[in-house]
Structure 1
Amino acid sequence: MTPDLLFSSLWNDYIQRLCPSAAQVQQLLKEDEALINDHIALRTFNVAPLGIDTLAKPFIDLGYQACGDYLFESKKLVAKHFEHPDPNQPKVFISELKVEECSAELQTIVAKLVKQLDTNKLKGHEFLFGGRLWDLSFVDFQVLAKESEYASWLAAHGYGANHFTVSVNQLNKFDEVQSVNDYLRDEGFTINSAGGEVKGSPEVLLEQSSTMADKVAVTFTEGVEMIPGGFYEFAKRYVMANGEIYTGFVAASADKIFESTDS
């Protein structure tokens, strides 16, 4: 297994199951060179045997290293990001829900999901794009959604890339995140406006924006429902005082990017 193969599998799952419109966005932004993927994001619960460490292991086995920790207090989330020694490989941003800080009702539903896990499926790397590892009722999905959009998304979709991210730095046609937003809006896409269309600034060395999530069909025990899936993000990174490009993340901006999957 190589990073290229793993990200290719994650991409195929992402455009087939979670964010079909990403293939169209890629065609619209494509230039002479293949688009550089700045990072992907994965979601999980902090309940054994899940959690950030479980999702990080396949990446660490490929040479990735933990680089930054983030806290999202109001959403009851923590996250880490991981980087590969080869700077051309995408960064990986993994977040987890602090289930113990949530309501008893949410905890009960999550426990019910985790109880269905076949832990053998967590070995290797295929589970990272394996989708849902449990059955879920639409009633439980709705209960989770009232308290935590993050929990309901994860319960419904399971594992896969919540988003991929175009590196705006490499684009020739656009040099600003806002220009990408304007172009995609003209092409019929809805841009996430939570906290402003462009999150971050040159001062914090990172600017980000994203489309709103596609609506995709998901099978629940009662039948199929259309719910928010994945979205496509755009990131522009700035040079630090030491002359190197900033490779971290800005919690205040990421907090608003999470809202791309809100209903």
Structure 2
Amino acid sequence: MTHNALAMMLDEMWVDYISMTPHAQKIVDLLAAKGETIINDHIALRTFNHPSVNINVLSKPFLELGYQRKGKYEFEEKQLDATHFEHEDKALPKIFISELRLESFSQSLQAKIDELIESVDKEVWANPKLSYSGRPWELSRQEYELLKEESEYCAWVAALGYRPNHFTIFVNALKNFSELSDLNQFLKEEGFSLNNSGGEIKGSKAVFLEQSSTLADSTEVRLSDDTLRIPSCYFEFAKRYVMENGELYQGFVAKSADKIFESTEGSQ
């Protein structure tokens, strides 16, 4: 029963994700047409380090369905902390949850996020579908713009709420693309825009992980006083390497992920 509940949750997260990221489905379809079977390496979620909705709150449904807490990461430039979770069934995707350090920003930003969170019924935070439930509060265009001045990440969560920020193709499982650079070239030839921040490929064999990503799609968001088109979500690609102990590296590289976060700063 637990496995069925988890499979349903992951399927529903994918449906929400492609509603915001139509180019991800196009890429899956293109690869499937080449005979590829797509394996999802990880799903990323964003939140704030507010006690009502921090990593501990967002991870609870996953822990109850068999996930375990693994690596922890710090992103000083963007003032984020993150934790990744793994299931004992290694065929299931890892869950990567990051949270914004609210105390690192202005009093006005902290007060606004507190106000947004406090405006929501507490039952919402206990919803097992919280991670793909969307935006639970009202937000004006001016509020969005003010938050964005301090943190693009903060404005993204404030405007789009709780939903997968990206899914990730496990490149090791692809038959036609032995190198991440080959996959990137194929995607560019098919008209997809990639994130070049810090180089097209983040990481290296030396750190046991290479990553690349598309630029985010854009989506129309209905705010309390306006409709605004903003960057939504993106698709990531990860190639993992075998460590000295003979095991495939399962963690993340903070320096690389820092640049991957910037995929929502542009759009397809």
If the length of structure 2 is used for normalisation, what is the TM-score?
Answer: 0.95
Q: Distance in 1 between matches of 2:222 and 2:201?
A: 34
- Classify the secondary structure of the residue corresponding to 1:160: coil
CA displacement at 1:146 relative to structure 2: 1.1
Q: Distance in 2 between matches of 1:34 and 1:196?
A: 27
Name the counterpart of 1:35: 38
Cα distance per residue 1:111-164 (max 9 Å; x no partner)? 121111111122242121100010111111111111100000000000010000
Root mean square deviation, CA, Å: 1.1
CA displacement at 1:48 relative to structure 2: 2.0
Name the counterpart of 1:215: 218
Q: Percent identity?
A: 48
Name the counterpart of 1:44: 47
Q: Distance in 2 between matches of 1:118 and 1:65?
A: 28
Q: How does 1:75-224 map to 2 (within 5 A)?
A: 75-224=78-227
- Classify the secondary structure of the residue corresponding to 1:44: strand
- Classify the secondary structure of the residue corresponding to 1:53: helix
Name the counterpart of 2:27: 25
- Classify the secondary structure of the residue corresponding to 2:25: helix
- Classify the secondary structure of the residue corresponding to 1:191: coil
Cα distance per residue 1:153-182 (max 9 Å; x no partner)? 000000010000000001011111111111
Name the counterpart of 2:259: 256
Matched, 1:11 2:14: yes
Matched, 1:226 2:229: yes
| Equivalent position to 1:63, from 60, 63, 66 | 66
Q: Is the 8 A contact 2:219 2:229 kept in 1?
A: yes
Q: 1:10 corresponds to which letter in structure 2? A: M
Cα distance per residue 1:29-88 (max 9 Å; x no partner)? 225463100000000011121100001000000111111000001111000000000111
Q: Distance in 2 between matches of 1:134 and 1:204?
A: 40
- Classify the secondary structure of the residue corresponding to 1:226: strand
Cα distance per residue 1:227-263 (max 9 Å; x no partner)? 0000000000001111111000000000000000014
Moved more, 174-183 or 24-33: 24-33
Cα distance per residue 1:177-205 (max 9 Å; x no partner)? 11111111111111000000000000000
Name the counterpart of 1:72: 75
Unmatched tracts of structure 1, length 5 or more: none
Q: Distance in 2 between matches of 1:110 and 1:261?
A: 20
Q: 1:134 corresponds to which letter in structure 2? A: W
Q: Distance in 2 between matches of 1:189 and 1:139?
A: 32
Q: 2:105 corresponds to which letter in structure 1? A: C
Q: Which structure 1 residue ranges, 4+ long, deviate > 4 Å from structure 2?
A: none
Q: Distance in 2 between matches of 1:165 and 1:262?
A: 18
Q: Distance in 2 between matches of 1:256 and 1:76?
A: 13
Q: Is the 8 A contact 1:3 1:89 kept in 2?
A: no
- Classify the secondary structure of the residue corresponding to 1:24: helix
- Classify the secondary structure of the residue corresponding to 2:51: coil
CA displacement at 1:3 relative to structure 2: 2.3
